[in-house]
Chain A
Amino acid sequence: MSRAELVGLLISVISFGTLLYLAALGELIAEKSGVLNLGVEGTMAMGGVTGFLIGVQSGSAWFALLIAALVGAVFASIHGIVSVVMGADQVVSGLALTILGLGLSAFLGKDYVSSAPGAKFNAINLGPLSDLGVVGETLFSMNGVSWLAIALGIATWFMLSRTRMGLSLRAVGESAATADAAGTPVVLTRMIAVAIGGAMAGMSGGYLTLVLAPGWNEGTTAGRGWIAVALVIFGAWKPGRVLFGALLFGGLIALEPRLQTLGLDVSPILMSMVPYLLTIAVLIVLSIRSRNRPSVAPAAIGLAFRREER
């Protein structure tokens, strides 16, 4: 592999890692508050279509990404209202959100399928640092969104483990009734967590259509939202481990088109199954381990909360 090819591979790993990490981090926040959101795939599609449309209209990539995040937050709030406020089943509501998002994005983006991208991000110039060989060249090519994703990861870790807000959020996700008795507003906390999660999924979708594969096409999310759901489990609900998982799964996706040039006789289609199979394997290992010690999953995940029923 030549030096240019290596840099290309590393950039691709980081790009796919950014895409997956943004969405997975959002799902992690929602799940930590006790809400499983299977609407990530649909929310990504909504963020993708709006991000692309606003990019074409406004010419500003950052503005487009912001709108994609806002649309993601509003869209995921449908799931919040139905499952958190009304107490409907989280699995059904989340899946319906995905079906709605895939349909609505296809409907809204119909006239933009062959449009040329209107906005792009520039790499952040690290000055002399970019002379540091392959690593420097790779980091030099990273655009602001990847840096933003890392910052959001650190912020999420800090919020969850070091702040009062994070404590409340985790308490709501472990035992809503206990948190309620302690005066934490359960419904509001979960709604905010779902909206933030949706914003990140929307941003991830915008990143997809603005940066990774500039353009809009029905089905452009191609199951990446489900990988984000898988990553939260793979990373055992920890922002750091999820980042590792995102780079690993992102690396696998980045390798798919390069298998032949690397001389590996593996079907890229078969390799694209690996993240899902790995997640099942991790789930099994976690289940076996949790027989002797407490489970790593938030205890109240999937459970609706109604005060009079506690």
Chain B
Amino acid sequence: MAIVAQSSKFSIYGRPVLAWGVGLMFFFPIFWMVLTSFKTDADAVKPENLIFFTPTLENYLNMTENYDYWRFARNSVISAVSATIFTLFVSVPAAYAMAFNPTRATKDVLMWMLSTKMLPAAAVLYPMIFLAKGIGLYDTHILVITVLSLINLPIAVWMLFTYFKEIPKDIIEAGKMDGVNTWGEIKEILVPLAWGGIASTALLVFIFCWNEAYWTVRLTTIDAATLSKLIEGNRAPEGLFFGRLSAVSTAAVGPIVVLGWFCQKQLVQGLTFGAVK
């Protein structure tokens, strides 16, 4: 009983404080970034203007006029959306096959897929660049979409596999008896039943694709460059322009933060699925 009493005291006072503390800690950099984006580059580095300053939209106007923000944004949308669709197109059937028609190798295949995430990206960077240039795909949408899909496939398959495992096998078998073929099983039964899981997987993959920088920065120059590249490009050689950099960063992460905000429930469910039941 003592344990219960202790934990309830903690849950009344401790937990909210802890939660707010952690929350603010995570939120602060974003808050600071947004705040700085409204300062001039000069104000951004002056200690006396830390909190109080004259807000300006100069950085934002500058960005759209000088750096062609909309082109980078369009590229980000094209690559993230296409990569998400492609990833789902491959991972849904893959997870379906492994969840409902497992073989002895299924577990090994799943582990192998996960193991590719443990490979340091730097190890394959130069082969990738040479390969991309060799076949003439460097700085193209196709390359970015392919790479983004490949790096996210393991996560997508794993997430969907866990969701599909929750669907009783009987229902799929009833479908077989009712005259459904494999594609019909996926379309008529699996997708409607696992809709929540597929949506959270899609959302997560989309966020990962949008935020991906390591590959997009290195495999693109102009034509297929995404917002990550825009941020990178503002790390100007003549020094850091914090105001400008903050504005670019805010504009780059803004859409995804808004999207995440509206889909919080789905996201949390997706990330904790299987862990808590």
A binds B: no
B residues touching A (Cβ–Cβ < 8 Å)? none
A residues touching B (Cβ–Cβ < 8 Å)? none
